[in-house]
Every structure is written in structure tokens, then in C-alpha cells.
Structure 1
Amino acid sequence: MKRLGFWTPALLAGGALHTASFAPLEWWPLQILAVALLAAGVQGAAPRLAAWRGFVFGFAWLSSGLWWLYISMHEYGGMPALLAAPAVALLAAALSLYLAGAMALVAWCRPTSPTATALAFTGAWLLAELARAQWLTGFPWIASGYAHSSGPLAGLAPWIGVYGIGAVAALLAATLAACLRPVAGAGRPWALLALALLLPGLPALAPREFTVSTGTLHMSLLQPNVPQDLKFDPDRIAADMAALQVQLHAARGQLVVTPESVLPVPRDRLDEGYWQQLTAPFRAGGRAALIGTFLGNDNDGYVNSVVGVSPAGGDGYTYGKRHLLPFGEFVPPGFRWFVDLMQIPLGDQARGHREAPFTVGAQRLRPLVCYENLFGEDMAASVGEGPQAATILVNVSNLAWFGRWMVQDQDLQFSRLRALEFQRPLVRATNTGSTAVVDHRGVVTARLPAETQATLDVAVEGRRGATPYARWLGAAGLWPLWAVALACVMAAVAARAAPWRRRGPGG
């Protein structure tokens, strides 16, 4: 009980500090130190106690990192505060079960050497991250690897991606914990720590660009800055749509990009005269536009979409969002009552299907609608090689649902990792903030201030070619990382049962 009394508050603090390693603070060394605290806490613990400690750490990490969901539920969804706050806590608790199970697995392995301890922890941590990213449609917000969009581990992104980076960070953390709190009967593994520290530095010894330039495209990224609580106000819709038309027509880029659902009225309910006037400048001449709207009807459902308008194709290009957000964009079975408590328009949407790029001049653009920014595995086929491979990634979003603090910077940080993984520029057009350009090296080269109406005019260099990560992710998905995680755990178990372990005299 005395040890439980120390570790519970220590891991609550550690989980909160883990969140501080992400944007907007981006204290990436803190990510490794916080996970090292967890590794030390589960070392030598029984499975049930290790599960509790993993849960405590995960709950502090995810509740402090997802608190902004309360804003969408309460302030914009109309859910009573007494229900919205517990709902966020319940989500954090449910997601923390992955880490609880992982830490129980570490304890069950009963590693007997520093190497086995580090392998067991690394494999279990990676299993938890992959499960949270993929099971039940996935919710990988602030997965640990994102903390390293800056720092030495960022160089691993084009090789092993965000979850591979998270696994390397877990290996460093577990090895550090073993040095500070060695396994009973074993020495401190300083040599293992030195080897682990060399791993992130390997890409820096021979930095390589796997993609080449395809020229530049002049783009205008619109930020209308319509407050979310007024976006669907019937008394404001006409004025906001008129202001959008003025802003869209004033943009001078070869490609003009709006945020997602910039039109508060679905396309089939728009006045046809307004749509024709809105898109007229892009049906002739040399310019094009990507406009966020909802496509569909009451019978088939509505798809959160991007419509591409160009002289060559008219308004025939559409891209529909495929990876939907639970509770905000689709209703999980049995939760209709919960979603009905939130007065969110179009809260149960249909899925889109198209992956083909939108071509403007020499550039091929792959749209990503808001939440899809988190799922690199979904876009891997679009950033390989071949005539249909995208040269620029375009994320359209509306983060006004979640306020300003933390969420805008975190989502931009995720974009930086996508750019690093695929060595593609990623541009963002948002409603109220984090409208920005990220180059193929993961550097933010331009950004609009939050909560201002403005247009960001930029020249974006497209890229073609495939990184190693894009190649194996496109071929096998995340299965190679699942295999690595299981191999680490199995190696730890095998070390426990190895016949070469030292025996006594005569044994």
C-alpha cells in the first residue's frame, strides 16, 4: 500500500507531463522521461498492479490531452456540463484500457534481464498504440510518436512512421528506467542505453531525401473565421455565404482552397444561382478551387466532401471523407441516445469513397478532410510512385468546434509528421486557426494567426517519389509493426525460459 500510495500520484503527474511534451509546448525530451517513469513503475509489479499503474498514467495523459472535447459537447453541442465532463473522462478511461492491458502484459512476461525488460515494455507499448489507432475505427490523437515531430527522432519518420518512432522512444524510456532502477540481480545496462541512444541518430548521419521536386503551385488558403456557435444561425447564413464569395473571388492563387464544410448548407439545398456565381471564376481561365461542402441527400445520407472546380473538369471532381469521427460524424451502435443529447448538425454522416487526386497543372493534390489527417496508413497508396501519386497533401478542417487552445497546435503537429513520413508538403485550410503550410521536411513555412479572417497566399513545392515508410505501409499496412511488437514480447518471454540461464553448482 505504501508503494501504491507513491506510484499513483507520481504516474498521474507523469501522464500529465507526457501531454506537455506535445504541441503547443513541444517539450519532446519530457515524453521519454514520462514514459521512463511508467516503465520504472511497472517493473517488478504484479500484473494487476501493473495494469492499474498503466491505467493511471494513460488516464492522466489522455484526459489532459483531450479535455477540449468538452467544448464541442457542452458549448456547441448543448450537452449539460454534468454530462459532458464525465463523458470526456469516460472516453479517456476507455482508451486507457489499452495501456492498462499492455502494462499487465509486461508484468506477465516477468523479464529477468535489462534487455528482456526493455523488449517487453517496447513491444507492449507498441501494441497499445496500434490497438488505439486501429480498433473500433481508431482514435490515435496524441500518439506518443507525434511528440517527436521536432528533435532527433524526427529523422526516423520516413523509415518507420509515427508508431515506429513511438516504439523507439519507448525503448529509450525502458532502457533509461532499467539503468536508474535495475532489475533485481542484474547490473545497470549502460551499454544497452548507449546503443539505444545511437539508434535515433542513424538517419542524421546520412540524411536522405527520397522525393524530388515537381515544381511549385501558387495557392490561396482561406480562413473565413466564422464562430462555430453562429455558423448555422439562420440569421447569419446568407451574410456569411456572401462574405465567402467575396473572399473566394478575391483570392489570386492558381488553386484556392476553403476549409471543410465552408458552406453551411448542403450542396443539394443550395440555390443553383449562388453555386454558379461562387464557382464562375474557376470554370474558365487558368485557376481552380477546392471547396468544402456536404454532398448527398436525406435518403442516402450526406458525405463531408471537397468539390474540385476547374476549367477542364467543371465541378465534376469530388472527394468524400472516409474515416469518420465516432459520435461527431457517425453513431456507434447503441449510442443514438448519447448523440441525440448533442445538437450537432449532420452528426450521422455517410462515408466517401474516392481517392483519386485533383490535378492542377503539374501537381496532383490528395484531399484529407479534418480527422483523416491522423491516419497515414489510409493515404499510403496515394503517396507512392506512379502517374496518380499525389504531389501535395491538402487538409481541410474546421477546428472551431474545439476552441483555440491546444487542439489547433496539436493538429498542426500531426500534419508535420505526415509531411515527414511521406516527404510531401501538406497545406491546411481551416476555419478559425492553424491555416498553414508544412514543407516536405516537416517545417511550418507559413501560418495565419488564429481567429482572424484572412487568406494565406503561398508558393508550394510539390514532390514525387516514395519514402521507405510509404512503400512498406502501402504494401502491408501496419502489420509489420504488429509483428515487431509481438516479436519483442515473445523475445522477452523466451529470455525468461532460456536454458542457458546461470545454474548453481552441480546444476
Structure 2
Amino acid sequence: MRGLIAAMLAGGASVFAFAPFEVFPLTVASLAILAFLAARESRARSGFALGFAWGLGAFLAGVSWLYVALNRYGGMPMPLAALAILLFCAYLALFPAAVGALFARFGRGGVWLRALFFAGLWVGTELLRGWLFTGFPWLALGYSQTPPSPLAGYLPVLGVYGVGGLVALIAARVALTPWRNLRAAAATLVAVAALSALGYGLGRVAWTSPTGKPVDVALIQTNIEQGLKWRPELLSNWLESNARLAREHPADLVVLPETTLPLLADRLPDGYLEELAAPVAAHGGDLVFGVFLRDARGAIYNAALSLGASPSQAYAKQHLVPFGEYSPPLFGWFYEFARIPMSDQTRGAPDQSPLRLGGQRVAVNICYEDLFGRELIHSLPEATLMLNLSNLAWYGDSLAQPQHLQIARVRALETGRPMLRSTNTGMTALVQPDGRVAGVLPEFQEGVLKIAVQGHEGLTPYARWGDAAAALLALVAVLAGAVRRAGRP
């Protein structure tokens, strides 16, 4: 029982490695505790329990803000919302539980071999978590290693899962080292220093280069409270607010957040879109904003629409959020307990081209989509800028906003492109290709971030390989451990 409590506390503490705290060494310390505890077990059942406790602590502390969406804004009764979040976190905890079970049962051999085996298992389960049932890769370990972590230099090469594997490798090596053995202790310290030094060196490499002229951008944060956004009697207020903000802040590229117009475009008042775009077009710029579009078949899309000096273009969200934007099979009963507007959406086409705006090629992604690096690189090398439109007002004043900005920093490093973010309540920002936040607005305030952004061209190694490199290295590490065990007398 003491081991389970220690594992759960260690998992909970790992959240402090992520934004807004960003004590990045805590990830290594937290995972080292799990590896140390699991290494003392020989039964899969015991390792499973330890991994499950670690995962439950991590996800309850790290993503419990989902409760706000279900209860406060989704209308789900408090007991049901709490139970739903507990069950969801328990599902997520199954992935570190699998690592604990397999490591306890099969993690044999020398220190390095066991550490590689642990790291390979960790990468494999994180990849699976990011894919199974459309995926939920939030709090993947690599997200905690944004600059100034020296491991951030590996992000353009191995991506977030590869960096998570390095964290797991270091953690397991630290946990398994017999520290009273000076030779073994020195080997561990040298290895950690070498990995950090190489990461620092890779962080100095400019994998992509500037292209075209800088673009003056106005990123608008509308700060419309989620509980009021869908009230019909207030719709005229929101329409006027969006028009006013676009009118008062002309630029080469003006961006309003996801679903900033909370209704179908074909139901907007006559002439409203022309009124919205006219001041931006008169300035010679383009306006991009979030709105729902409906096609001839009646299918509804969460979309970004551009109007202005360039021909009108649109992007429809491809990776929808289960329950929030569509109902998974057999879960129609969920909506008897939750009231979520526009929850019957259709996926956009998978091969949409970047929008040509302001002399740049802008790859749009909407909210949750920027969690999936393997999907964003499909727009490369054509895209020169990345643009995310989000509405995190669903989650209130929680860890969701800073955690999502940290995810955007990882995507900028992986792609070698600036990442522009226009959000309803935060965090509206510009992230440079090196992961540095060049500007950010305060949360839960109406505001505009006016800033110049430079497009980039070229490909990082991750943009060429995607997650294949991390998956291959993980497979080699796991097989090495398995072969070593099979070869034991």
C-alpha cells in the first residue's frame, strides 16, 4: 500500500513539470519513482497496480479540468460529471499500468538494457494512447521538455514521443543505478550529461529558414464567457463585438478565434460577413475567423473562413473531439445527461491545402487538432505559417490554457514553423520556430496581440519522419530487452 501511495503521489507531482509551472526535471524524478518501485516487483499484477496508481495520480491532477466542461457548461449533474472524469482518468491510467506490468514481469538484465526496455515500453504506450479511439495525447511526457530543458533540442528530430522516451530512459537509468557503486554512478551521470549536451547542441540548429516578407498580424482574443455565448438574446452583442474588434485593429492578417460566430454562416444576418471583412480588406489584409459551415448535403463543419484582399478560402476541422463534436458509436445516451451545442459535426477532408494569405501559406488547425503532430506535418513543406484557432472557455480558469500553449510550443519546434494562436479566453500568442513565446495576451481579458511574424520554409527531421523514428527506436529497445530475457538460461 505504501508503494501504491508513493506511485500515485509521484504521478500527481509530475503535473508540476508541465505549464504553467514548468519544473521540467520533475518529470524524470516522478517517473524514476515508478521505475524504482516496479523494478522491485516480479509479478505483472503488482507492476500493473503501481503503473495504474501513477497514471491515476497524473491524470486526475493534470486533466481534471474536463469536469468544468461537463458540469458547468455541459449541464451534467455533479456526481455524474465527477464519475465520468474518474472513469476517463482510469482509462488513461491503463497505459502506464501496462508499462508497469510488462517492466515488472520482463525487465531483466543489466541496468542499461532494463532502462532501454522501460523507455521503449513508455514510448509504445504513449503512441498507442495518442492513437486509440482517435487518441488523447495530452500530458505526453515530452510536452514537459520545452525550453529551457536541454532535451527540447530533440523535439525537431524525434518529436514529442521520442523526447518522452528520452525522459523515460534517463528516469529508469537513475532509478536502477546502484549509487553506492561509484563506477555505475559515474556512468549514469556521464550519460545524462551527454544526452543533455547533445540536446543543447541540437537546440542551436536552425532546421528551417525565413521566407517571404514579414506579415503584420492582429491576433484577437474576444473573451466571450462560455455560459453566455450560446444565448440567443445575446447573439447581436457577440456579432457587434467581433465586428468592432476587427474594425479597430486592421493588419495584413487579422484572426478571430474558433467559433467566434456561434452559429451557422448561412444564418448570419444579411450583409454581416461583408461588414465584418470590409475594414480589413480596405487595409489590404485578410480576415480569418471561426464559424460553422454547412454544405449542400446538410453536413456541419467547425471551420475557419477567410475573407478580405485574397480570394475567400476555408478550412474544416479534421480531428473532431469525441462527445464534444460528435457522438462515438453506442454513446448516444451521453447527450441525455449533457447539453453540448453543435455536437453533431462532420470531419473535414484530410487533404486540405494551406490558405494563401498575405503572401504566406497558412496551415490552419482548430483547437484540439494541434495535439497531433503527425497530422500537422501533412501540410509541410508547403505551409510557411501554422495558425491555431481555439476556444478553451469550456474549461474555465484551469491548467488547460497554459498546457495548451506549451503543446503549441512543441508543434512549433517539431515543424520549424511559427505557430500563431487566436483564442477566446487564452492563451493568444505567437510561438517562434525555436519554441520561444514572442508575445502572449493575459488570460480572460479582451485584447489584441499585434505582432510581425516571419514565414519559414524547409523541413525538420521530424517533419520528414513523423513518429516513425520514435516508434522504431522504441521497438528496438523493447526487442533488445525481450531477446536478452529469452537468451537467459
**Given the two structures, how large is their TM-score scaled by the length of structure 1?**
0.92
For the residues of structure 2 that align with 1:75 and 1:400, how far apart are their CA atoms? 11
From 106, 110, 113, the counterpart of 1:113: 110
Query: Alpha-carbon deviation of 1:498?
Result: 3.4
From 29, 34, 57, the counterpart of 2:30: 34
From 404, 415, 425, the counterpart of 1:411: 404
Structure 2 residue 360 is the aligned partner of structure 1 residue 363: yes
Alpha carbons of 1:155 and 1:479: their partners in 2 closer, same or farther (altered >3 Å)?
closer
Tell me the secondary structure at the aligned position of residue 216 of structure 2: strand
Tell me the secondary structure at the aligned position of residue 272 of structure 1: coil
Letter in 1 for 2:160: V
1:324 alignment counterpart: 320
Tell me the secondary structure at the aligned position of residue 314 of structure 2: strand
1:129 alignment counterpart: 126
From 18, 42, 46, the counterpart of 1:22: 18
Structure 2 residue 225 is the aligned partner of structure 1 residue 227: yes
Structure 2 residue 483 is the aligned partner of structure 1 residue 494: yes
From 50, 57, 78, the counterpart of 1:60: 57
Contact 2:363 2:379 in 1 (8 A): yes
2:347 alignment counterpart: 351
Alpha carbons of 1:110 and 1:446: their partners in 2 closer, same or farther (altered >3 Å)?
closer
Structure 2 residue 389 is the aligned partner of structure 1 residue 392: no
For the residues of structure 1 that align with 2:156 and 2:141, how far apart are their CA atoms? 17
1:34-183 to 2 correspondences below 5 Å: 34-45=30-41, 46-150=43-147, 151-179=149-177
Letter in 2 for 1:479: A
Q: Could you list the per-position Cα deviations for residues 299-357 of structure 1 after superposition, in whole angstroms to 9, with x for gaps in the alignment?
A: 532110000113241x2x11010011111111111111113321110112100115211
Query: Alpha-carbon deviation of 1:272?
Result: 2.8
1:238-249 to 2 correspondences below 5 Å: 238-249=236-247
From 240, 257, 260, the counterpart of 1:259: 257
2:276 alignment counterpart: 278
**Given the two structures, how large is their TM-score scaled by the length of structure 2?**
0.95
Tell me the secondary structure at the aligned position of residue 286 of structure 1: coil
For the residues of structure 2 that align with 1:329 and 1:95, how far apart are their CA atoms? 20
Letter in 1 for 2:372: F
Contact 1:171 1:196 in 2 (8 A): no
Letter in 2 for 1:484: L
Tell me the secondary structure at the aligned position of residue 130 of structure 2: helix
For the residues of structure 1 that align with 2:197 and 2:335, how far apart are their CA atoms? 47
Contact 1:103 1:124 in 2 (8 A): no
Contact 1:114 1:188 in 2 (8 A): no
* Structure 1: stretches of 5+ with no match in the other structure: 502-507
* Structure 2: stretches of 5+ with no match in the other structure: none
2:193 alignment counterpart: 197
Query: Alpha-carbon deviation of 1:285?
Result: 5.3
More displaced 10-residue stretch of structure 1: 352-361 or 37-46: 352-361
Q: Could you list the per-position Cα deviations for residues 347-390 of structure 1 after superposition, in whole angstroms to 9, with x for gaps in the alignment?
A: 12100115211122331111110001111100112132xxxx11
For the residues of structure 1 that align with 2:249 and 2:110, how far apart are their CA atoms? 63
Contact 1:58 1:96 in 2 (8 A): yes
Letter in 1 for 2:99: A
2:395 alignment counterpart: 402
For the residues of structure 2 that align with 1:344 and 1:465, how far apart are their CA atoms? 41
Contact 2:286 2:358 in 1 (8 A): no
Q: Could you list the per-position Cα deviations for residues 221-259 of structure 1 after superposition, in whole angstroms to 9, with x for gaps in the alignment?
A: 111111000001111111111121111111121010000
Contact 1:178 1:189 in 2 (8 A): no
Contact 1:289 1:309 in 2 (8 A): yes
Alpha carbons of 1:27 and 1:298: their partners in 2 closer, same or farther (altered >3 Å)?
farther
Structure 2 residue 429 is the aligned partner of structure 1 residue 427: no
For the residues of structure 1 that align with 2:105 and 2:335, how far apart are their CA atoms? 39
1:458 alignment counterpart: 451
Alpha carbons of 1:270 and 1:263: their partners in 2 closer, same or farther (altered >3 Å)?
same
For the residues of structure 2 that align with 1:56 and 1:287, how far apart are their CA atoms? 53
For the residues of structure 1 that align with 2:190 and 2:177, how far apart are their CA atoms? 11
2:469 alignment counterpart: 480
Letter in 1 for 2:73: Y
Letter in 1 for 2:340: I
For the residues of structure 1 that align with 2:7 and 2:107, how far apart are their CA atoms? 21
Tell me the secondary structure at the aligned position of residue 233 of structure 2: coil
1:504 alignment counterpart: none
From 369, 372, 377, the counterpart of 1:372: 369
RMSD: 1.9
For the residues of structure 2 that align with 1:497 and 1:93, how far apart are their CA atoms? 33
Query: Alpha-carbon deviation of 1:274?
Result: 1.4
Alpha carbons of 1:445 and 1:312: their partners in 2 closer, same or farther (altered >3 Å)?
closer
For the residues of structure 1 that align with 2:285 and 2:459, how far apart are their CA atoms? 28
Contact 1:18 1:31 in 2 (8 A): yes
The percentage of aligned residue pairs carrying the same residue is 37
1:471 alignment counterpart: 464
From 325, 331, 336, the counterpart of 1:335: 331
Letter in 1 for 2:125: A
Query: Alpha-carbon deviation of 1:480?
Result: 3.4
1:505 alignment counterpart: none
Query: Alpha-carbon deviation of 1:192?
Result: 4.4
